[in-house]
Structure 1
């Protein structure tokens, strides 16, 4: 209201002043033009008299009479061609198109390209038939007019400013209480409580402002509590490590936490728009629709970029009446690792059961033969050896399973300083009977290396790799074993001249119970290379396998000496 009053009053004054200024300027313009016309005719009369009485050449005349008032004098023949010009040496120039020559004895104002100024012109025919043209700079005649316009403008502006200042001060005293109330309401809208003073000369206004202060204080307290709760809730939702989204009854996305924005590549524009704007999965959009329309909750898996997410959609409220009411809660939890672990457990128990079943079946079969006296006396000893052999297979399998379980569930481990060359030597001694049986040569090159480790880990690693090389190499061949340092890394290499591994199997030989050829007679537990892989991972190492069919296999282990 204050601004409207001031604006309307000032506009009225400005309009009145502009109308007065326009009338004054018009009158001044007419007066100034009349003065210019009179002035130019006086000069023309003076120069005309001198021209009619001169006896010299026209060029001399124009130079003699051009100096006063910055005059420019031009003499033209009856065809309006220049005979002489005080400011231009060129003669013979056709000036017939000039306005002052088209309408002689009339004052004209135009821009001259010869002198680059706006000039006042007048031309008149002389007694000898020639034409005399006089021109002077327009600025010499309009200076006073321009000063008068400037004075009028400045005076009017000063009047408007003085009037506006007085009007502003008057309205300020009248409307100050309402302006203060407006600021208080605006601050409350922005979440800030601002006390409004009540020291005004109007008691009624003081009472209203006092009530507004009480209401504003209550609202400010409530807003602060809500904001604090929202901040805590948002922090919790961002820390629970799963995507959380809320939708209303129109499938419009109302909220998405940090994980949801990352998972579905949502930006700020997605909030407040239907689900299909930011979420491309038809299953998720259908799940939200089912909850809103049929109150049907659902749970399913969603795959993206090689990861698996468990999606759960369920109702959190009845159909909301307001646009901001949330009706559907969507939770997305990354279950990639847990699903992989579950699958690994299923595969492990399946393979373990199968591997244990074979020796148990054999032991039971031999035992039943003995029980029913179907084994001859001379075959009892051989049957007993078979039972012992199958028992040893079971024992080895169980030991490897326990070893693998220990490596997968690493807790605090106490390492001791060990000589790796000594551990390697002990392993080679235990495997020597097997290599001697196949008349194989073990070439060992081992440096003196100490390392903080669990000796059982390294013994298993050495044994499994060397034993595999012996088992899957033909008799009378060489196995090259190397153990040395390369800067701060320990290098252990085993190279054989065996059957080799096809490329399709090379990436899988380190999986549990994986066998390249399940029909081979030389079969182990299927856990040896899996144990090797877990030992290498435990000591932050790397495995490199190079193999060619019927040429041999080379396995290189690289581990940090000091972890």
Structure 2
């Protein structure tokens, strides 16, 4: 009996099966049992695996390659076809590195636990740093059969951290080695005292400086600003800080930071000004380096975030794909061994179970791609006038049918409602995700309410339930990618839904907020701008 699949999926699989000269059943079995999922995976996922710069490989229990992505050719002169069936090796790896990797592979095979390691390898003239995630892949009996590894080059990450530390040390050395310049001058800029550091800095004897205006070492374009500063000190002798350029006799120009304060006589009149100066020329130069370092730090922070997201993604994919793959394999085995004894209805039931799990995995990948596109600013937002009441009725009708009326979903609409300039796809997903969560986390028979209201500037959409609620300690993270509340772990989910909702809302220039009490329920409110004049309901 052939597999009974939706037309579009059956057509895709039939085309691939024809290319491989096999039946659809054999193709699915090959996908699961021989670890060639990338050949039959959705195009976006296959493209991701084949083009990602990270080296992805799978090893069997003997430490032999059973799969490797094209990144291998970037890191070595070996071709993918040449390494399949061989063990870890190559000129880039020392015997010590190979022994270390084999030890860690065996550790994962023995413990069944994920493992992250770092190591060095010389792929060019300079040693490079790598980070590798080792993820066990188990059969239905819980025995590790293969180990998936994801290796990324973290050399630049390490170099940025080292450069930041070097800049920090240079900055500290410069600051700690400064010797202050001290002088006194009259309100008409004539020097009355200079210390040794002042003399050494300007390369002059004390008698060449005292009795002369310090303006002789200041560019002409600063003189007016300096005189205004002195006038302020004559009124208020409190310390004043300013940066000025000074020019030496050889033409070299330096930046000096001066802290001036007035010296008063017995009548409280400022008779002299004492100034303490510090050469900040190198600090000025380092300011540019600091700005560059800040950019590096921002890059580093972004890299950390991306690494964390990748780590979360790998962990989540390993967890979330295991269950549907187990269901697919179980149904596949049943069909393979017993299809000739089963009724058409039972065969269709197992085929639908397979297609349902494939759809679940496809939706997960689509959610990841959607979130990645939104986070990188790649939104395809297309605004148009949307009849919100019509859209809400359609969504409520859909969920009422799919929920088989287990919950009482009510819709509250005002008598008249404005059109909303929005992307109907995004708006449908915003309302649909929130309504889906309300159903998922509420007991059967409870009431879920979708309400729409508006003011002069915004349209508000509220979705209220009487479900499990969100613990207070989780409120701050509820929109974070992959985050799931502590009391939601027993429910299916990936922690992507609310993150996508928030991105969609903010793409419209709107906002989302919520209030919740554990055991009582949750109310989410979406506020969206760009409403048009109200029309009759």
Q: Does the TM-score normalized on the shorter chain lie above 0.5? A: no
Bigger strand share? 2
Bigger helix share? 1
| TM-score between both structures, scaled by the size of structure 2 | 0.43
Higher relative contact order (CA 8 A, sep 6+): 2
The structure with the larger Rg is: 1
